[in-house]
Structure 1
């Protein structure tokens, strides 16, 4: 191994993503990831619990962003509009990561176990949003419906965004998807 170099976590992430893309998630080992990054397996495990965590390590940060943004929206906002503010905040974070998001999604789409993990992540986001809405005084079923609808908008928008070139930007696609949802629920 080479002498210490900065950004071990970033190097491990890039090495893993490249290997997952080249060889597939299943056929890539932690040893290969560490070797590609010029690091040891021990260093890998200092940063990630397992090779799946390279793809899902940001889940708690995303959830915190959703919840913190939602909690900071004025109490007078309608539940779906409060959720929309959280979606906008998340979209702004993703906007400059189109190539990475597309690569990550292709890796996940090729593996049933990773697809299941992604769905669990989305379910947790919905649960967190619903809980935040309840703490804001939104009763059920409105809190659960607004949270689930918000995550559905996020999922549909994300899929549209990564399927394209990254343009239009993700925040614009979020607004378009929310408008479409409102039109559907209004019966138009």
Structure 2
């Protein structure tokens, strides 16, 4: 039986992100990641299939997003159920701003990782659409709402990790959702200060 390594997965993830930031994703090897974490390559492969999976291996975001949408009040409209999911996901990122910025910088710098990120988001969208269908939302509304939810998350997240942005991610994502609602309601766009967003649904 292998030696138990406390928080091996987290240590490997942190070591990998440090190395990717310092040296670049392509230049970093699994052996270097394991060595930086004080672990073995064998331990690395017990937790991750390859060095990309250190950045994408956790299904935590998708699971949390889907569960929150599924658990929204039965009376909630599809977009309001999506809003419940968005709030839950924002909470997950509450204390991870520096980590999220560093991870995104690594992904942005590599075409293969950018493609993988798009695949991941497509998977999240498909899972959200399925959750909405289970709530009784018909097609194409389920898929459209799921895609909109992912787009709102993506825009809000990118604003949150922006260098000049100091506001909470929850606020930025809610603003993005309000903008989407304004656009679909036929307005030119919601005011920048959020003054007339109110309780419009």
TM-score, normalisation: structure 1: 0.94
**Structure 1 residue 173 displacement after superposition:** 0.7
For residues 182 and 163 of structure 2, the distance between their equivalents in structure 1, rounded to whole angstroms, comes to: 24
| 3-state SS of paired residue (1:95) | coil
Residues 91 and 166 of structure 1, relative CA distance in 2, 3 Å threshold = farther
| 3-state SS of paired residue (2:88) | helix
Offset from partner CA, 1:13-62 (integer Å, 9 cap, x none):
1111111001100000001111111111111111111101110122x221
For residues 52 and 83 of structure 2, the distance between their equivalents in structure 1, rounded to whole angstroms, comes to: 29
| 3-state SS of paired residue (1:163) | coil
- For residue 45 of structure 2, what is the aligned residue in structure 1? 45
- For residue 31 of structure 1, what is the aligned residue in structure 2? 31
**Structure 1 residue 164 displacement after superposition:** 3.6
- For residue 132 of structure 2, what is the aligned residue in structure 1? 133
| 3-state SS of paired residue (2:161) | helix
Offset from partner CA, 1:108-138 (integer Å, 9 cap, x none):
0011111011000100111111111111111
- For residue 167 of structure 1, what is the aligned residue in structure 2? 166
Task: Give 1 or 2: higher helix fraction.
Answer: 1
For residues 5 and 66 of structure 2, the distance between their equivalents in structure 1, rounded to whole angstroms, comes to: 35
Pairs within 5 Å for 1:55-66: 55-58=55-58, 60-66=59-65
Task: Indicate if the aligned counterparts of 1:98 and 1:166 stay in contact, CA closer than 8 A.
Answer: no
For residues 8 and 102 of structure 1, the distance between their equivalents in structure 2, rounded to whole angstroms, comes to: 23
Question: What's the RMSD between the two structures over aligned residues?
Answer: 1.4
- For residue 75 of structure 1, what is the aligned residue in structure 2? 74
Runs of 4+ residues over 6 Å off in structure 1: none
Q: Which runs of 5+ in 2 are unaligned?
A: 188-201
Report the count of equivalent residues: 185
**Structure 1 residue 5 displacement after superposition:** 5.8
For residues 4 and 128 of structure 2, the distance between their equivalents in structure 1, rounded to whole angstroms, comes to: 41
Q: Which runs of 5+ in 1 are unaligned?
A: none
- For residue 155 of structure 1, what is the aligned residue in structure 2? 154
Pairs within 5 Å for 1:177-188: 177-188=176-187
**Structure 1 residue 165 displacement after superposition:** 5.8
